Structure 1
Amino acid sequence: MHTVLVVVQVLVAVALIGLVLIQHGKGADAGAAFGSGASGTVFGARGAANFLTRTTAWLAAAFFASSLGLAYLVNDRTGRTSGSVTDQIETPAPGPVTEEPRLIIPAPAEAPAAVAPQAPAPAEEAPKVPE
């Protein structure tokens, strides 16, 4: 049943996308009002718009119904009554703890000793040569 509903969901979605792309926008009706040849179509001047609109509504209803059916089947398949999908996620049980985890922080590298700025050395006088 689940597979059938998924196939129906995909087919209805593709058909719905196709019908929405086929339909003309509101601006396309102005051309039909001036005799652009739309009255000679299979559905008549206004018949195609009504047919496509109604078919789109029916396909949207079928898409909605198949979505609800899939949601019901998936929730029923798990056998749980929880309404949340995140509540259905199974978390693994923690294993036995052999020892308490320790945080190992490496010792900081020794920083060079701060050197105080020194004043520039005075220019030395040249040694006096005895005469």
Structure 2
Amino acid sequence: MSGIFFGLVLTVHVLVGVAVIGLVLVQHGKGADLGASFGGGASGSLFGASGSANFLSRTTAALATAFFVTSLALTYLASHRGGVSRSVMDAATVEQSAPASSQPAKPAGPAQEIPK
């Protein structure tokens, strides 16, 4: 059940991230308003002269908030998954503390037949 929820939150996270990137690319910079005032055709947009800034800014803010919330949710879900060690160093410590065999391993094959 936790894996399904993790996958769902991850999918939403990626989609929201792509939407934020798209909205930021659609918005025009502050310098674009100056060009529109001197006869540029960009002032008559789909949302009106001032409506686009409010709509796009609010939508971007809402999507950015959703991105941060899904980031926190993914962090929480990843840290509370069962059966996974908490860090790479914990896994390395477990491998080093494994008991070594008392006899050295003997190589097999033609390497044993080489005279010294």
Once superposed, what is the RMSD of the aligned Cα atoms?
A: 2.6
In the TM superposition, residue 35 of structure 1 has moved relative to its aligned partner by: 4.0
Tell whether 2:11 aligns with 1:7.
Answer: yes
2:68 aligned partner, one-letter code: F
Higher relative contact order, structure no. (Cα contacts within 8 Å, ≥ 6 residues apart)? 2
Q: Distance in 1 between matches of 2:90 and 2:26?
A: 42
1:86 aligned partner, one-letter code: S
Give the alignment partner of residue 27 of structure 2, picking from 23, 37, 50: 23
Aligned to 1:90: 91
1:9 aligned partner, one-letter code: H
Aligned to 1:129: none
2:63 aligned partner, one-letter code: L
- Secondary structure at 2:80's aligned position in 1? helix
Q: Distance in 2 between matches of 1:32 and 1:56?
A: 23
Deviation string 1:39-62 (CA, Å, 9 cap, x unpaired) is 432211111122111111111100
CA contact (8 A) 1:38 1:44 kept: no
Aligned to 2:112: none
Q: Distance in 2 between matches of 1:79 and 1:45?
A: 55
In the TM superposition, residue 87 of structure 1 has moved relative to its aligned partner by: 6.9
Q: Distance in 2 between matches of 1:6 and 1:32?
A: 40
Q: How many residues align?
A: 97
Give 5+ residue unaligned stretches, structure 1: 100-131
Q: TM-score w.r.t. structure 1 length?
A: 0.62
Give the alignment partner of residue 68 of structure 2, picking from 61, 64, 67: 64
**Per residue, is there more helix in 1 or in 2?**
2
Q: Specify whether residues 88 and 74 from structure 1 end up closer, same or farther in structure 2 by C-alpha distance, changes over 3 A only.
A: farther
Mapping 1:1-131, distance limit 5 Å: 1-78=5-82, 85-86=86-87, 89-91=90-92, 92=95, 93-96=97-100, 98=102
